[in-house]
Amino acid sequence: MSKPLVITDCDEVLLRMVVHFRDWLDEAHDVEFDLSRGFLDGMRRRGSDAALEQEEMWRLLNGFFDTEMHRQDEVPGAIAAMHALAEQAEVVVLTNLNDFRADARTNQLRALGLDVPVYTNQGPKGPALAKILAERGEDRRAFFIDDLSVHHNSVAKLAPHVTRLHFVGEPGVAAHVDCAFEAGDAHARIDDWDAALPWLLDRMEKENA
């Protein structure tokens, strides 16, 4: 029997991003980012009550990934968890970045000790995950880890057999994220690796029995 496949997101699952993005907005662009409001309503020019337009928000976010990825650090326990999972499974990363940033993300993870295949995507992740399964074996047991409920919903619709863990590694964001488990689109919601890793390993063992 082939190893199971773990398909994991990167930002706020493996690497901290949003707090570094917030700090950079403050330092370089005079923009305040209230994490509790989320991306669509959280960014404002200092002294303004009006949220940034989406076009400017995306321009700033792309600017962060163009020049500031070096700021990102590990979600506590994430790299060790991936190594532990890799003893039982094949691990790949599915990250919502423009395709031309795939090498930068791969190198970023390698520098932190994680050398795994990286797939880039734009939009809901269900179709991209289905392509990964088609490439690496549609009949394999698979596990999906992501911080956004919209992606769990997408995967649940297109690949309902995949075990889905909703994981938000940034405490300042976690309380404000819609829960995919409560919505019925994930099998669990766990936000720290000390608890998430045993849950995943237990599910792997039970599904292999």
Tokens 């993005």 sit on residue:
21
Q: Is residue 47 packed enough to be buried (19+ CB in 10 Å), middle (13-18) or exposed (0-12)?
A: exposed
82 is written with which tokens? Answer: 């991936």
163-166 and 142-146 strand pairing: parallel
Q: What pLDDT is stored for residue 209 in this prediction? A: 58
> What are the CA-CA distances from residue 51 to residues 27, 135, 175 (Å)?
18, 41, 21
> What are the CA-CA distances from residue 148 to residues 43, 103, 117, 156 (Å)?
19, 23, 21, 13
- Helix, strand, or coil (residue 40): coil
Q: What pLDDT is stored for residue 116 in this prediction? A: 98
Q: What pLDDT is stored for residue 1 in this prediction? A: 58
Report the length, in residues, of the chain: 209
Q: What are 37-76's pLDDT values in tens digits?
A: 988 899 999 999 999 999 999 999 999 999 999 999 999 9
Q: What pLDDT is stored for residue 94 in this prediction? A: 98
Q: What pLDDT is stored for residue 160 in this prediction? A: 96
pLDDT at 208 over 80: no
Q: What pLDDT is stored for residue 2 in this prediction? A: 84
The type of residue at 23 is: D
In this prediction, residues 12-41 reach a mean pLDDT of 95
Q: What is the mean pLDDT of the chain?
A: 96
> What are the CA-CA distances from residue 22 to residues 45, 72, 148, 163 (Å)?
12, 12, 18, 32
Which pairs count as long-range contacts for 174-183, CB under 8 Å and 24+ apart, including other chains?
175/36, 176/35, 176/36, 176/37, 176/38, 177/147, 177/148, 177/149, 178/149, 179/149, 180/149, 180/152, 180/153, 183/149, 183/152, 183/153
Q: What are 103-155's pLDDT values in tens digits?
A: 999 999 999 999 999 999 999 999 999 999 999 987 899 999 999 999 999 99
Q: What pLDDT is stored for residue 137 in this prediction? A: 86
Q: What pLDDT is stored for residue 28 in this prediction? A: 97
